[in-house]
């Protein structure tokens, strides 16, 4: 497995990480807890060293699963988790609201350390910007945790360029996690150049467009009520049909490379910058192997230009949320 460094942080991880959210959250389960633990072990066996979780996934159950599964590989893998949602009676949930107060950040860190069974959190992201807490205070709280040896690296998620700069001035940001894929590219305008200038790695989530870019979804595909795609504007039958042109493009390039649409979509992301590490979420071995195959696909400048020109002519239908 090839490795990449997330910006100037020195944090080196596998070129493709693994998003673990759906192992216990959303439309889970696809298998038992033991099935998911076995799957995570198989990911490590294949060279994956970068795993993404959050206290809100479950809540708590995802960190608990990842902590148990990866405990035998302590020191060999990098686990990223997140803080930033308010705690209700059942724990943190996006519907309860945001909470990035310094005292809350420190409380979350202590609990995450226990669930993840680690001495220090490798990468601690603010899950979403909190309009009620200056980002300088957020960065300062994580800086304290870093100085105490409880956190190794600071990350942001879905932050804008100004927020990134302000946070970075207090505590260097190792990585920004944001949605980025061949069909969602607004971060290219301001955010990617800011990351490049400041030496911040980018960790794209939903790099396969929540599964759409695999080419396996049709207008007849249905979703369980627990699946976020059941309410997503890009997954109405009309949008699925209208956006088929994106999959057609990926299939056309894939045919030339003996690759699947998903592999081309991931290879496209990897080709954008050497400090980009996508985290597709897999729960099945055949999907994981397919995704990992993207690391060895080389897209030429001509391929990238062809994709860019083709996407410029395509209007993707439906908002991302």
For residue 236, give the 3-state DSSP assignment.
coil
* Element of type H or E holding 51: strand 50-52
Active-site annotation holds for 205: no
Q: How many CA atoms lie within 13 A of 193 on its CB side?
A: 5
Residue 52's DSSP bridge partners are 19, 80
Q: Mark out the alpha helices in the chain (DSSP H runs).
A: 33-45, 61-70, 102-116, 135-147, 161-170, 191-198, 237-242, 244-257, 261-272, 285-292, 301-312
Would you tell me how many other CB atoms lie within 10 Å of the CB of residue 22? 21
Residue 137: count other Cβ atoms within 10 Å of its Cβ. 15
Q: Please tell me which residue in 57, 180, 205, 212 is annotated as part of the active site.
A: 57
Sign of the CA dihedral with 93 first, then 94, 97, and 101 last: positive
Pairwise CA distance, residues 260 & 205, whole Å: 19
Interhelix angle 244-257/301-312, rounded to 10 degrees, is: 170
Calculated CA dihedral for residues 154, 75, 60, 180, nearest 10 degrees:
50
Active-site annotation, residues = 57
């Amino acid at each position: 497995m090839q490795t990449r460094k997330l910006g100037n942080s020195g944090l080196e991880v596998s070129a493709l990480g693994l998003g673990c959210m759906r192992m216990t959250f959303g439309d889970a389960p696809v298998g038992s807890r033991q099935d998911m633990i076995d799957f995570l072990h198989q990911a490590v066996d294949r060279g994956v060293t970068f795993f993404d979780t959050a206290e809100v996934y479950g809540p708590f159950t995802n960190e608990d699963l990842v902590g148990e599964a990866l405990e035998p590989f302590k020191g060999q893998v990098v686990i990223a988790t997140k803080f930033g949602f308010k705690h209700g009676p059942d724990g943190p949930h996006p519907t309860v609201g945001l909470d990035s107060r310094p005292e809350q950040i420190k409380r979350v860190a202590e609990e995450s350390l226990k669930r993840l069974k680690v001495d220090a959190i490798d990468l601690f992201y603010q899950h979403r910007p909190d309009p009620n807490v200056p980002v300088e205070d957020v960065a300062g709280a994580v800086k304290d945790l870093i100085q105490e040896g409880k956190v190794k690296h600071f990350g942001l998620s879905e932050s804008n360029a100004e927020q990134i700069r302000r946070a970075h001035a207090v505590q260097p940001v190792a990585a920004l996690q944001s949605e980025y894929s061949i069909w969602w590219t607004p971060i290219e305008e301001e955010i990617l150049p800011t990351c490049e200038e400041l030496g911040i790695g980018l960790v794209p989530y939903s790099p396969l467009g929540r599964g759409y870019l695999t080419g396996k979804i049709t207008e007849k595909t249905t979703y369980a009520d627990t699946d976020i795609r059941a309410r997503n504007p890009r997954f109405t039958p009309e949008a699925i049909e209208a956006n088929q042109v994106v999959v057609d493009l990926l299939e056309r390039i894939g045919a030339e490379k003996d690759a699947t649409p998903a592999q081309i979509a991931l290879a496209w992301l990897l080709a954008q910058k050497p400090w980009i590490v996508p985290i597709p979420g897999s729960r099945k071995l055949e999907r994981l192997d397919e995704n990992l195959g993207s690391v060895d696909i080389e897209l030429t400048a001509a391929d990238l230009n062809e994709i860019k020109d083709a996407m410029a002519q395509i209007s993707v239908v439906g908002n991302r949320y």
